[in-house]
Amino acid sequence: MKKSFISFILIFSVVTLASQENIKEALKNILPDGAVIELIEPSPIPGMYAVYYGDLQPIYVTQDGSFFIYGDIYKINRNSISNITEQSIAERRKIILNEIPKEELISFKSNTEKFSVIVFTDVDCGYCRKLHKQVDQYNKLGISINYAAFPRSGLGTSAFTKMVGAWCSKNPKESMTKLKNNLTFDISFCDNQPVSKQYIIGKKLGIDGTPAIFSMDGEMFQGYVEPQELLSRLRK
């Protein structure tokens, strides 16, 4: 019995490796320039593999590399359907979000915390300012707001400089509130500012606008979401 099991594992490993080589060979001429295949793993569909190549969204490729699908896979359950692709993407988002140490976030904690979200923000963004004016409402509903930096105009810009100033200040929460209210303060810089790193992480997450809100489960809510609506979405 033990020998049979080992033989099965060896055969499965050889088949898997052969399939991955087929897939790599088939995709090398169709992936975007500079794309590097990071991971190939079996998909929920028998005979198809999920291929990750620098994008959170995988492509699904047949074992022989002859066909591929770019899009979401849904699983049919007894009384519902599940977006398997979105679940996979959420898991990858969680891994990326964990690259941000909690102490490098500017946090507005709820005293009755039920949910905690990470909000990638830009201090010059109108909807980010609207969200910040309602921080107390989010907190009263049990939602903690944890800010990460995403200056939409990029590194080295005016928004970037102001956000570095907030993160490097003696009171980051107060400085953030001033910036969101279009007020100024004496900007100081620090060697260990996390703004650059958070911006790069935001790019890895596929953020192209702010605010971008993430649950601790890796679900993404793009754009401004009013407090009660965010609570409803987090409860699902």
CB burial readout 80-89, b (16+ within 10 A) else e: eeeebbbebb
Q: Strand ranges (DSSP E) for the chain? A: 39-42, 48-52, 59-62, 68-69, 74-76, 81-83, 106-108, 115-121, 143-149, 212-215, 220-222
What are the distances in angstroms from CA 114 to CA 109, 145, 162, 222, 227? 11, 12, 31, 21, 13
- Residue ranges per structural domain of the chain: 2-71, 101-235
CATH homologous superfamily for the domain 101-235: Glutaredoxin (3.40.30.10)
Q: Is-contact 63 75, C-beta < 8 A?
A: no
Common-topology check for domains 2-71 and 101-235: no
Structure pTM? 0.84
pLDDT for the residue 11: 29
pLDDT single digits (tens) 101-131 = 999 999 999 999 999 999 999 999 999 999 9
pLDDT band at 12 (very low <50, low <70, confident <90, very high): very low
Burial class (CB in 10 A: 0-12, 13-18, 19+), 163: buried
pLDDT single digits (tens) 188-236 = 889 899 999 999 999 999 999 999 999 999 999 999 999 999 999 999 8
Question: Out of 2.30.40.10, 3.10.450.70, 2.30.30.30, 3.40.50.12780, which CATH number does the structure's domain 2-71 have?
Answer: 3.10.450.70
- Lowest model confidence (mean pLDDT) among 9-13, 72-76, 110-114, 198-202: 9-13
- Lowest model confidence (mean pLDDT) among 20-34, 88-102, 112-126, 127-141: 20-34
